[in-house]
Amino acid sequence: MGLSLTVLGCSGSYPGPGQACSSYLVEGGGVRLWVDAGSGSLANLQLHSDLSAVDAVIISHEHPDHYQDIEGFAVGCHYLLRLPPVPIYAPAGLRERMWGPPGAFIWNEISDGDRVMIGGLTVGFSRTDHGPETLAMRFDSDGRALGYSADSGPGWSLEALGEGLDLALCEATYLADREGTLQHLSARQAGVSARSAGAGRLVITHLQPGVDRDSSRIEAEAAFGAPVEVATEGMRIEL
Ligand SMILES: [Zn+2]
Ligand SMILES: [Zn+2]
């Protein structure tokens, strides 16, 4: 049954008008994973999944545009729906930072180089070039592979996730004229990274509100050397 990606939110750093922050559903190997839970994404998650159908949650790092909605998820699942605790995988420190009922999650600490099996899906982690400990991820199921950069500056590359990525989902916070102003990637740098990794396909995400989508796509395509898609809420890709 391969691997699929559904975009729940893709606004970078803070929510845009009517747009949720980074969040994705990754499905494969018989499990449904909620990957990052940025502000606004819990509302969109429920357009695609009952809360009880989330098998595990994975959070890349402790910035609010990637984790904040696990708090509302915990309230809903624990107090109102009275669901059993959900496994959550996150870097050290997030557990202490989040507000929420302690019994909502089963916590699993992850770090650079870890690999975990969740159902029939393998998830590998690589620490990126970003402020707090931030983990990029590689998902493998049924011979298909998806790489997700999380947030990163140019000191890390998708190459660190290994060869054979069918799809790279890479942050592209801004355009090349702002390179170096924050610990993030431009669309050009996302294209370079995906090309170096030999990715079969590139979707750019985490564009900050106001950054032009067409300019980002064109810049990424020039560097990647092939067509590039810009993430939109509700986009679903089957690999
Ligand atoms: Zn971010
Ligand atoms: Zn961040």
Ligand nearest to the CA of 131: 2
| pLDDT band (50, 70, 90) for residue 114 | very high
Q: What is the pLDDT of residues 174-212, one digit of tens each?
A: 999 999 999 999 999 999 999 999 999 999 999 999 999
This prediction has a pTM of: 0.98
Residue 82 CA to ligand 1 center (angstroms) comes to 31
pLDDT for residue 102: 85
Residue 207 CA to ligand 2 center (angstroms) comes to 12
Ligand nearest to the CA of 134: 2
Find, among 131, 137, 1, the residue nearest to 56 by Cα.
137
Residue 1 CA to ligand 1 center (angstroms) comes to 30
Residue found by looking up tokens 């983990």 in the block: 135
Residue 238 CA to ligand 2 center (angstroms) comes to 27
Cα(205)–Cα(216) distance, integer angstroms: 10
Please, which residues have CB within 8 angstroms of residue 168's CB and are 6 or more apart in sequence? 147, 149, 158, 193, 194, 197, 199, 201, 202, 203
| pLDDT band (50, 70, 90) for residue 154 | very high
Contact (CB, 8 A) for 151 and 184: yes
Environment of ion ligand 2 (residues, CB < 5 A): 63, 151
Residue 4 CA to ligand 1 center (angstroms) comes to 22
Residue 89 CA to ligand 2 center (angstroms) comes to 17
What is the SS3 assignment for 141? Answer: strand
Residue 159 CA to ligand 1 center (angstroms) comes to 20
15-47 as b/e: b if 16+ CB within 10 A: bbeebbbbbbbbbbbebbbbbbbbbbbbebbee
Find, among 188, 93, 105, the residue nearest to 134 by Cα.
93
Cα(132)–Cα(13) distance, integer angstroms: 14
Q: What is the pLDDT of residues 20-54, one digit of tens each?
A: 999 999 999 999 999 999 999 999 999 999 999 99
Residue 185 CA to ligand 2 center (angstroms) comes to 11
Ligand nearest to the CA of 207: 1
Cα(55)–Cα(80) distance, integer angstroms: 18
pLDDT for residue 137: 98
Cα(101)–Cα(144) distance, integer angstroms: 36
Cα(188)–Cα(193) distance, integer angstroms: 9
Ligand nearest to the CA of 172: 1
Cα(126)–Cα(220) distance, integer angstroms: 23
Residue 80 CA to ligand 2 center (angstroms) comes to 30
Would you say how long the chain is, in residues?
Answer: 239
| pLDDT band (50, 70, 90) for residue 2 | confident
| H or E element, residue 67 | helix 64-67
Radius of gyration from C-alpha coordinates of the chain: 16
Dihedral sign from CA coordinates of 167, 172, 177, 180: negative
Question: Hey, what's the torsion of the CAs at 10, 181, 195, 6, to 10 degrees?
Answer: -10
